[in-house]
């Protein structure tokens, strides 16, 4: 995306209400492009450009650079609006938004150099320790391969985890221009095909010291660029990542419910000739799943509210709380996936035709729910270990 496409985002005083109004006009285009995104295995260029024009990617950009520093409830609203029209596009959108929050954890030199020249970044962020970083006179040399590069197909920057070898290995996040890495096309998947989350490769990429940040402080909302007054950036990163990744799952479940309800109006049951909309089992299933999805949304918003409150406290959110929040989000995503399965199960074989958005949503949520942050067993193990006073098995 070139700077000309970002002109609108240099405006001052942008607010959430304005973004929502602009986004509402774009939603039909997002829905119309969903099949194209899946077929080409990446987001549609015009859709990403349109989203940029709404200002949505400035959601978590610091106000000192013209951003909005939105609350997490608004984050959920915006993400659901996009994700209901296309799960893949919703996924890329919420990650792009959240990754500007990550950049705000970097030191002010990096923030000034990037946010000072452009109103937001479009950047994948891989916190998997798949890179090796060697110290050099002016910074680091970064080499590695990172999978699951959500957002890389329209990226201008990339954030990559590189571990500095030593007696105590130190994982750091490095931000480098997109043109300095190689993209390998591996994104052949059963679901979430429209995200284009291809592999990212770096071979001795030179990174200045200022464009790296230790993950230790960043993971608890205490990156070197965060000040005591920056309450929007002082909550822990992993639960925020979980929320960002869960929003498209909730959106997909909501959309599947709407599609199921519409399908009831026209579907005739084989053998009896009866309209499905007249059958008690359909009423029961619709009512039960509608209630479940509404409850799941309330749970997600409650977790977001609790997480947001930690930004206003001097105390760092402790591991036990972080593990509980992550587990809660993982359970929500699993329940969204199961709700969609229940709806598709009652929708007949026609729902599995290639032109049916129901089957696409089901495939998307089947794959989405496999993201490592939604591993319920791993999340529950961590929480259980922490309850017993043991160290967590994986980062929280």
Same-domain check for residues 54 and 171: no
Which CATH number characterizes residue 244's domain?
1.20.140.10
Pairing of the two strands 199-208 and 170-177: unpaired
What's the average model confidence in pLDDT over 186-200? 98
Mean pLDDT of 219-226: 97
Model pLDDT, residue 73: 98
**243 and 198, same structural domain?**
no
Average pLDDT over residues 308-333: 97
Residue 147 lies in a domain: yes
User: Is residue 44 very low, low, confident or very high in pLDDT (cuts 50, 70, 90)?
Assistant: very high
Nearest CA to 113 out of 209, 49, 200, 203 is that of: 209
**Is residue 28 domain-resident?**
yes
Same domain, 377 and 249: yes
User: Are 105 and 130 contained in the same domain?
Assistant: no
> Are 130 and 105 found together in one domain?
no
Lowest mean pLDDT among 168-172, 278-282, 384-388: 278-282
pLDDT band at 277 (very low <50, low <70, confident <90, very high): confident
CA–CA dist 84, 77 (Å, integer): 11
**Considering the domain boundaries, does residue 394 fall inside one?**
no
27 and 86 in contact (C-beta within 8 Å)?
no
Q: At what angle do helices 87-103 and 237-266 cross, to 10 degrees?
A: 160
Q: Are residues 130 and 109 in the same domain?
A: no
58 has pLDDT over 80: yes
Q: Is the pLDDT of residue 315 over 70?
A: yes
Q: Is the pLDDT of residue 9 over 60?
A: no
pLDDT at position 197 is 98
Domain that holds residue 137: 125-214
Scored b (16 or more CB within 10 A) or e, 11-31 reads eeebebeebbebbeebeeebb
Q: DSSP state, 165?
A: P
Which of 115, 146, 163 marks a domain boundary?
Answer: 115
Query: What pLDDT score does 6 carry?
Result: 52
Query: What integer pLDDT is reported at residue 268 of this predicted model?
Result: 76
User: What is the C-alpha to C-alpha distance for residues 26 and 46, in angstroms, rounded to an integer?
Assistant: 10
What six digits make up the tokens of 14?
């942008």
User: Are 108 and 138 found together in one domain?
Assistant: no
> What would the two tokens of residue 200 be?
């990212």
Please compute the mean of the pLDDT values over residues 110-138 and round it to a whole number.
95
Please give the average per-residue pLDDT across 261-270, as a whole number.
84
In a domain, 228, yes or no: no
Same domain, 134 and 275: no
**How confident is residue 101, by pLDDT bands cut at 50, 70 and 90?**
very high
Lowest mean pLDDT across 167-171, 287-291, 369-373: 167-171
User: Residue 10: what pLDDT?
Assistant: 58
Same domain flag for 368 and 239: yes
Based on the domain organization, do 239 and 194 belong to the same domain? no
Q: What is the DSSP string of 289-343?
A: HHHHHHHHHHHHHHHHHHHHHHTTSSSPPPHHHHHHHHHHHHHHHHHHHHHHHHH
Q: Which run of H or E residues covers position 191?
A: none
Q: What three-state secondary structure class fits 175?
A: strand
Q: What global pTM score does this model have?
A: 0.95
Indicate if the pLDDT at residue 167 is higher than 80: no
Report the domain count for the chain: 3
Percent of the chain clearing pLDDT 90 (strictly above) = 87
- State the Cα–Cα distance between residues 78 and 84, nearest whole angstrom: 10
More confident: 3 or 305: 305
Domain final position from 96, 115, 134: 115
Q: Is 225 domain-assigned?
A: no
For residue 88, what is the DSSP state? H
**CA nearest to 86, candidates 140, 130, 28, 137:** 28
Taken as a whole, the chain contains a residue count of: 396
Of 201, 187, 300, 192, which is closest to residue 246 (Cα–Cα)?
Answer: 300
**Which residue's structure tokens are 């990550």?**
102
Euclidean distance between CA atoms 95 and 55, whole angstroms:
15
Give mean pLDDT, residues 214-239.
Answer: 95
Predicted confidence band of residue 166 (pLDDT cuts 50, 70, 90): confident
% residues pLDDT > 70 (the chain): 97
Domain end, chosen from 62, 87, 115, is at 115
56: CATH: 1.10.540.10
**8 Å CB contact between 163 and 186:** no
Whether 249 and 204 share a structural domain = no
Angle separating helix axes 376-387 and 319-345, nearest 10 degrees: 150
List phi, psi (to 5°) of 155: -75, 150
Count of CB atoms within 10 A of residue 87's CB? 31
DSSP secondary structure code for residue 206 in this structure: E
Indicate whether 63 and 134 sit together in one domain: no
Question: Which token pair is 199?
Answer: 């592999």
pLDDT for res 393:
94
Task: Examine residue 25 and state whether it is found in any structural domain, yes or no.
Answer: yes
Domain membership flag for residue 57: yes
Identify the pLDDT of residue 68: 97
Task: Give the CATH number for residue 144.
Answer: 2.40.110.10
Closest-CA residue to 5 (of 139, 88, 119, 174): 119
Average pLDDT over residues 292-310: 98
CA distances 363 to 3, 253, 286, 352, 391, Å, are: 35, 12, 20, 10, 35
Residue 81, in any domain of the structure: yes
Mean pLDDT for all residues in the chain = 94
């Amino acid at each position: 995306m070139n700077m000309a496409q970002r002109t609108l985002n240099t405006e001052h005083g942008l607010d959430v209400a304005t973004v929502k109004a602009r986004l509402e006009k774009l939603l039909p285009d997002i829905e119309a492009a969903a099949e194209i995104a899946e077929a080409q295995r990446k987001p549609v260029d015009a859709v990403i450009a349109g989203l940029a024009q709404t200002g949505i990617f400035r959601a978590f950009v610091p106000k000192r650079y013209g951003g909005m520093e939105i609350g997490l409830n608004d984050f959920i609203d915006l993400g659901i609006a996009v994700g209901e029209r296309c799960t893949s596009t919703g996924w890329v959108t919420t990650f792009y938004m959240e990754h500007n929050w990550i950049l705000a954890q970097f030191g002010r030199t990096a923030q000034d150099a990037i946010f000072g020249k452009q109103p937001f970044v479009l950047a994948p962020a891989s916190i998997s320790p798949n890179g090796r970083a060697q110290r050099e006179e002016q910074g680091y040399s970064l080499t590695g391969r990172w999978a699951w590069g959500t957002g890389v197909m329209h990226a201008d920057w990339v954030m990559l985890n590189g571990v500095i070898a030593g007696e105590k290995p130190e994982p750091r996040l490095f931000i480098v221009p997109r043109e300095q890495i190689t993209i390998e096309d591996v994104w052949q998947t059963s679901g979430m095909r429209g995200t284009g989350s291809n592999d990212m490769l770096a071979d001795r990429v030179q990174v200045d010291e200022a464009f790296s940040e230790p993950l230790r402080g960043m993971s608890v909302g205490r990156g070197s660029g965060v000040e005591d007054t920056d309450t929007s950036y002082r909550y822990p990163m992993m639960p925020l990542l979980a929320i960002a990744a869960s929003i498209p799952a909730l959106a997909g479940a909501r959309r599947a419910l709407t599609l199921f309800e519409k399908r009831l109006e026209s579907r005739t049951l084989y053998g009896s000739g009866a309209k499905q909309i007249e059958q008690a089992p359909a009423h029961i299933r619709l009512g039960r799943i509608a209630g479940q999805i509404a409850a799941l949304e309330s749970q997600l918003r409650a977790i977001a509210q609790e997480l947001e409150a930690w930004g206003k406290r001097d105390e760092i959110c402790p591991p036990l709380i972080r593990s509980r929040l992550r587990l809660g989000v993982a359970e929500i995503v699993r329940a969204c996936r199961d709700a969609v399965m229940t709806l598709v199960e009652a929708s007949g074989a026609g729902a599995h035709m290639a032109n049916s958005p129901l089957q696409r949503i089901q495939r998307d949520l089947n794959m989405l729910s496999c993201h490592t942050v939604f591993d319920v067993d791993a999340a529950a193990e961590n929480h259980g270990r922490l309850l017993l006073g043991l160290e967590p098995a994986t980062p929280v």
